Structure 1
Amino acid sequence: MSAASESRDGDGSTRAVIVDDSRFMRTLIRRLLEDGGVEVVGEGKNGAEAVERVREHDPDVVTMDIEMPTMNGLEAVAAIMRKHPTPVLMLSAHAEEDADVTFDALDRGAVDFVTKPGGEVTSSMPRVRAELVEKVRSAARVDLSANARAAADRSSASPTARSGSATGTEADGRASSSTVSTSAESGGAATTGGGSAGASPGNSVSTAASTPEDATPTARYPDVGTLVVGASTGGPNVVERVLSDLPRAANLRVLVVQHMPEGFTARFADRLDDRSAYAVREAQSGERIEPGEARVAPGGKHLVVTSDRNGRLSLDLTETEQIHGVRPAIDLTMASAVETVKGAFCGVLLTGMGRDGVDGMRRIGRNGGYTVAQDESTSAIFGMPRRAIETGCVDAVAPAEEVATSALQYFEEE
């Protein structure tokens, strides 16, 4: 077993390669990572050197700048994924143009991104270091095979969401009935079968989701339903897939909480709007949300669900303390929705490390709502979904390409 493999399995320290055309920035990032216990095994000043350092050192993770001479970050990500697949964490500046390029990097195989540290030493440096180290360690644990499968599913899916139908594919040719595995991120034993893995006795988990083609435009839905989707590392492309598979005829109000830095969620909402039948934008404080609309929690703010004096659903944004070290927090949005939403309500928890969203899913389940968790085989990090499954509150476990279908089956009227 290589040193990189050992580290990914939880033994030894995280080994990183730093790539940036600025010597100053490479030195700063090295210091921040090493102070946080990450071992830096190599550096590169352009994409070509990045590919070579990955081949030489077989690191757990690569931190990648975007704009570099000779070969830029996008080209380097594609080359690394083709020649020596390794988790890549993009370091992106706070700029709208960088947001577009950063999402392109995710499409090419990068697993996550973080805002590049500023050059000046300030009182916020400990927070910057903690965020960078956490992101690096999280990226190092990503299952690249799940990312590759998700990319294959996206490329083969028919782009018909705008016409109001939900579609999907079985990329690996397996039956639509899923086998659930709830092995821990650290490599715990898996439990398989048709029942709940890790759930409390008597609480069975449905793992047989029909293919998304079954969610036809002729299905009957309530006048309004509410769907809350939470995701972290590896989530943006899965969230995109879920929303693209939701037909407008389902009459949903959709709230998306994706752990993402401030300055990127507006562009993320634009991408979702382009790829779904729903009107998607970044949430604004005080606005109402209607059927056929989706709102994305802004980076750096919690999204809270309230209702106006006429009982209509409205949204508030707060900058209260982080929950589970993040803001926006999935748990807070789900908990506030449980207290506010009337009628059909579904919570979805997708890939990510940690436990944000677990308590929210539990609350939804205990208050009569429906819950869907992404399965292990398609999760870049099977952390949040696994912990939710272990509570016994998850009604269905589905691969990324069937998450929307599982939710839609709940909303469909007989």
Structure 2
Amino acid sequence: MTRAEVAGARSSTDLRAVVVDDSQFMRTVIGDMLEDEGISVVETASDGAAGVEAVERHDPDVVTMDLKMPGMDGIDAVEEIMSIHPTPVLVLSAHAADGAELTFEAMDRGAVDFFEKPSGEVSVGIKQQQDRLVETVRSVAAADVSATEAAADHTPTTASVSGPASEYVENPTLLIGSSTGGPTVVEGVLSELPLEADLRILVVQHMPDGFTDRFAERLDSASEYSVREATDGARIGGGEALVAKGGKHLRVSGYGGGRIRVSLSESEPVNNVRPAVDVTFETAAAQIDGPLTAAILTGMGKDGAEGVRNVSGAGGTVLAQDEETSAVFGMPQRAIETGVVDDVRPRDELAAGVLNAITTREQ
């Protein structure tokens, strides 16, 4: 069995974790949160080197990793763990000015996902923090680390279209939805899409506020497209992309002349998340009358399943990432189960799948 299959076969009370943080207080807070929900903390460590040793010693299902630590920091520790004892790692990131950059660097080294550090304050919100942390730890424990390693090691290339092609369709729109393990995959897809495809792109990545702006900057640097974090009332045309802002739903509120207008909303979470893929996909299907393509990538849960039904119902094309290259196959699987997915592709062929969907072919 793979590590992901082993973790998935265990009950939630069987999961074993290593907690790495230089703060004794945070090690206690995080450890107590996990233990209270039946996740066994087999060891805690105060720096990256000790964390790596603990992973080798205990072979845990999951590691929670602080980033800023004396000696070996969390970024180097993630890289070392992936090199000598691949294990799903959840980065616990402080919401600070440089927290997002360090977090994405850790994910580049192979970390599966990240979570904002619990405050540790005794308050009404502490239980909610605990529930979300435990849910995230469990999803990361079930991740296929070989998929996240491969995504981190991926070298971008320009995607090609199979078969004789004449030209791209006019005013195509691409919708992307992803969650656990998604940031590096989204970056790979956008980096391979040529500007001449003239796509309008909306990205919904489950991610908290304070990180989506930096994620948009990374996508902008990695691709030929102009990418920015969505703002209320923003408009985009060909060659532009918006990333849903953390903590807000991204709705398509208008479409005309090849330009998309969006609005942001703090309405109730959908599928327990905000932003939700379903919200963006459903409103896009309702508003956009041009060529529409939707791609569901790696992630836990069912978000996007209803959205792809709407996209398909509006005459759009639906793609899903395959199981082998998904860190967590939940979202793609649920989309595939709807019966409306037109194409299932591995991570390295997703961009080519998008281009195939928006290309007219010679007869």
TM-score tier after normalising by the smaller chain length: over 0.9
The CA distance in 2 between the partners of 1:323 and 1:136, in whole Å, is 21
1:12-411 superposed matches below 5 A: 13-152=14-153, 154-155=154-155, 157-158=156-157, 166-167=158-159, 212=160, 214=162, 220-307=167-254, 312-411=259-358
Q: CA deviation at 1:52?
A: 1.0
In structure 2, C-alpha distance between the alignment counterparts of 1:2 and 1:402, rounded to whole Å: 24
The answer as to whether partners of 1:7 and 1:15 remain within 8 angstroms in 2 is no
Which TM-score applies when normalising by structure 2? 0.94
Amino acid corresponding to residue 360 of structure 1 in structure 2 = G
Contact in 2 for aligned 1:96/1:267 (Cα 8 Å): no
Residues 153-177 of structure 1, C-alpha deviation per residue, up to 9 Å, x if partnerless? x23x34xxxxxxx33xxxxxxxxxx
Change (3 A) 1:141 1:126: same
Aligned-residue offset at 1:82: 1.0
CA distance in structure 1 between the aligned counterparts of 2:206 and 2:8, rounded to whole angstroms = 22
**What secondary structure sits across from 1:230 in the alignment?**
strand
CA distance in 1, matches of 2:308, 2:295: 8
Larger % of strand: which?
Answer: 2
Query: Partners of 1:368 and 1:100 in 2: how far apart?
Result: 39
How many angstroms does 1:391 deviate by?
1.3
Gapped regions of structure 2 (runs ≥ 5): none
Cα distance, 1:7 vs. partner? Answer: 3.3
Aligned AA (2:34): L
User: Aligned-pair distance for 1:219?
Assistant: 5.2
What is the deviation of 1:284? 0.6
**CA RMSD in angstroms, aligned pairs only:** 2.0
**3-state DSSP class of the match of 2:133?**
helix
Give the 3-state SS of the residue equivalent to 2:360 in structure 1.
coil
Cα 1:107–1:4 shift into 2, 3 Å:
closer
Tell me the distance in 2 between the aligned counterparts of 1:2 and 1:381: 13
Q: Distance in 1 between matches of 2:176 and 2:17?
A: 31
Task: Supply the distance in 2 between the matched residues of 1:358 and 1:146 (Cα, whole angstroms).
Answer: 22
Deviation at 1:33, TM superposition (A): 1.2
Aligned residues: 360
Corresponding residue SS for 1:74: helix
Query: Aligned in 2, Cα 1:334/1:44: closer, same or farther, shift over 3 Å?
Result: same
Offset of residue 312 of structure 1: 4.5
C-alpha spacing 1:6/1:241, structure 2 compared with 1 (3 Å):
closer
Contact kept in structure 1, 2:20 and 2:46, CA below 8 Å:
yes
Distance in 1 separating the partners of 2:6 and 2:342? 34
Task: Provide Cα deviations, 1:259-308, integer angstroms capped at 9, x if missing partner.
Answer: 01110000000000001111000001011111110000011000000116
Which consecutive residues of structure 1, in runs of 5 or more, have no partner in the other structure? 159-165, 168-211
Q: Distance in 1 between matches of 2:14 and 2:25?
A: 24
Q: Which residue is equivalent to 1:189? A: none
Name the CA distance, whole Å, in 2 between partners of 1:290 and 1:109: 34
Report the 3-state secondary structure (helix = DSSP H, G, I; strand = E; otherwise coil) of the residue aligned with 2:204: strand
Matched residues in 2 for 1:219 and 1:311: separation? 21
For 1:13 and 1:120, locate their aligned partners in 2 and report how far apart those are by CA, in whole Å: 28
Deviation at 1:309, TM superposition (A): 8.2
Amino acid at match of 1:270: E
1:9 matched residue in structure 2: 9
| Cα distance in structure 2, aligned partners of 1:103 and 1:243 | 16
CA displacement at 1:96 relative to structure 2: 3.0
1:5–1:60 CA contact under 8 A, matched in 2? no
Q: Provide closer, same or farther for how the CA distance between residues 374 and 6 of structure 1 changes in structure 2, counting only shifts above 3 A.
A: closer
* Residues 161 and 356 in structure 2, CA contact (< 8 A), matched pair in contact too: no
- What is the CA–CA distance in structure 2 between the aligned matches of 1:4 and 1:362, rounded to whole Å? 29
Contact 1:220–1:412, Cα closer than 8 Å, also in 2: yes
Aligned counterparts of 2:197 and 2:277: Cα–Cα separation in 1: 23
Please name the residue that 1:199 is paired with.
Answer: none
What amino acid is the match of 2:126? M
1:213 to 1:63, Cα distance in 2 relative to 1, 3 A: same
What is the SS of the residue equivalent to 1:17?
strand
Paired letter, 2:17: A
Query: How much identity, in percent, do the aligned residues show?
Result: 51
Q: CA deviation at 1:17?
A: 0.7
TM-score by length of 1: 0.83
Q: Any idea what the Cα deviations from partners look like across 1:290-332, whole Å, max 9, x if unmatched?
A: 1110000011000000116888420000001111111000000
Deviation at 1:2, TM superposition (A): 11
- Return the alpha-carbon distance in structure 1 between the equivalents of residues 34 and 125 of structure 2: 15
Tell me, in whole angstroms, the C-alpha distance in 1 between the residues paired with 2:318 and 2:83. Answer: 36
- The 2-side partners of 1:375 and 1:320 are apart by 32
SS in 1 for 2:252: strand
Retained in 2: the 8 A contact 1:4–1:58?
A: no
Contact kept, 8 Å, 1:350 with 1:379, in 2: the verdict is yes
Letter in 2 for 1:228: L
